[in-house]
């Protein structure tokens, strides 16, 4: 199998995505529910920036993620918001067995400056990959460190082998779930709006993914391990080992790490 899945895999992934888009129907009841959730003082705001907000709420007692999007007016003029794409992409990924939380409904809305909303399963007992590495990596022995490198690489390659490109694979967009008593953690993707089923990434996009991942893990990983990860990626993408690409990766990763340090928030 080719490293990024063959074209038939991408075609199939695209076909499924289009089918979900065609079947997608906004849920008018969700719009009212989203407004109520937004105004509820007990809501937990996990993230709020101009273009997106993420709330943790309880719907019928079930912890649920409400993700709000601010859509450009031109986009809203002919599509019911970015939430629809996120919904269809997540459904496609779930259908293919990829670890994306289940999505429930989506709707257009008008609250807090946001224009569309999506409900999604909240993954319990989970932290972001960045937090996980920062906390756990100092205790890892050599063997565990190799195992984690392989796990992260497999998590990413699994996407590509299933014909899905994710345009933001930073460590904040991967959740590591470890319920009490579980033998091993499970990795999840989040940010379905950044997933593109059927899009075969260009070399530039692969490089950008590598920089996103590498440049979002500030603590707990040595330079030697970063280099080793790159070498291992060379098994999937031999061209990344070309000296000019390697140099570009180093420069961009360094810039991204600096930006993260400067802004004190996730890249």
Ligand X SMILES: Nc1ncnc2c1ncn2[C@@H]1O[C@H](COP(=O)(O)OP(=O)(O)OP(=O)(O)O)[C@@H](O)[C@H]1O
- Binders of ligand X among residues 11 to 70 (CB under 6 A) are 46-47, 52, 54, 65, 67
Q: What secondary structure, in 3-state letters, does 130-191 show?
A: HHHHHHHHHHCCHHHHHHHHHHHHHHHHHHHHCCEEECCCCHHHEEEECCCCCCCCEEEECC
Q: Is 122 in the site for ligand X (CB under 6 A)?
A: yes
If we measure between CA atoms, which residue out of 177, 178, 181, 187 comes closest to residue 148?
187
| 212 lies in the site for Mg ion, by CB under 5 A | no
Nearer to ligand X, 63 or 238 (CB): 63
Q: Give the strand order in the sheet containing 103-111.
A: 44-48, 52-59, 62-69, 114-121, 103-111
User: Any residues with CB less than 8 A from the CB of 241 and at least 6 apart, and which?
Assistant: 230, 231, 234
Note the Cα 55 to chain centre separation in Å: 17
For the bound state, the minimum distance from the C-beta of residue 94 to ligand X, rounded and expressed in Å, comes to: 12
> Least separation, in Å, of the C-beta of 254 and ligand X?
20
Q: Which option in ligand X, Mg ion, none does residue 46 bind, with CB closer than 5 to 8 A by kind? A: ligand X
Looking at beta carbons only, is 126 or 230 nearer to ligand X?
126
Alpha-helical runs (H) found in the chain:
7-23, 28-39, 73-78, 82-95, 129-136, 142-161, 203-214, 223-236, 243-263
Of 161 and 170, CB closest to Mg ion: 170
Q: x/- binding map, residues 78-117, to Mg ion, per CB under 5 A?
A: ----------------------------------------
**Of 234 and 266, CB closest to ligand X:** 266
Cβ atoms of residues 240 and 206 within 8 Å = yes
Is residue 71 near Mg ion by the rule CB under 5 A? no
Among 33, 93, 103, 126, the residue binding ligand X under the rule CB under 6 A is 126
Minimum separation from the CB atom of position 144 to ligand X (A): 23
Nearest to 170 by CA among 152, 184, 186: 152
Q: Return the DSSP state at 192.
A: G
Per CB under 5 A, which of residues 179..208 are in contact with Mg ion?
Answer: 191
- The residues of the shown chain that bind Mg ion, judged by CB under 5 A, are 173, 191
- The residues of the shown chain that bind ligand X, judged by CB under 6 A, are 46-47, 52, 54, 65, 67, 101, 120-123, 126, 128, 168, 172-173, 175, 190-191, 266
């Amino acid at each position: 199998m080719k490293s990024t899945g063959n074209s038939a895999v991408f075609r199939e992934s695209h076909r499924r995505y289009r089918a979900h888009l065609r079947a997608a129907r906004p849920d008018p009841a969700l719009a009212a529910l989203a407004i109520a959730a937004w105004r509820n003082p007990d809501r937990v705001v996990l993230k709020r920036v101009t273009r997106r907000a993420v709330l943790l709420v309880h719907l019928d007692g079930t912890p649920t993620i409400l993700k709000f999007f601010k859509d450009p007016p031109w986009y809203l003029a002919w599509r019911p918001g970015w939430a629809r794409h996120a919904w269809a992409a997540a459904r496609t990924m779930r259908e293919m067995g990829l670890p994306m939380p289940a999505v429930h409904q989506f709707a257009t809305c008008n609250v807090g400056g946001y224009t569309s909303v999506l409900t999604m399963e909240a993954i319990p007992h989970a932290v972001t990959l960045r937090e996980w590495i920062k906390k756990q990596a100092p205790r890892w022995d050599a063997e565990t460190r190799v195992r984690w490198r392989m796990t992260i690489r497999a998590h990413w390659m699994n996407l590509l082998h299933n014909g899905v490109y994710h345009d933001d694979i930073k460590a904040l967009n991967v959740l590591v779930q470890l319920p009490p008593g579980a033998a091993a953690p499970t990795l999840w993707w989040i940010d379905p709006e950044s997933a593109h089923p059927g899009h075969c990434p260009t070399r530039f996009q692969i490089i950008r993914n590598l920089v996103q991942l590498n440049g979002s893990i500030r603590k707990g990983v040595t330079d030697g391990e970063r280099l080793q990860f790159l070498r291992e990626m060379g098994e999937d993408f031999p061209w990344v080992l070309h000296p000019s690409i390697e140099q570009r990766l180093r420069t961009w990763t360094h810039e991204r790490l600096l930006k993260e340090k400067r802004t004190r928030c996730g890249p």
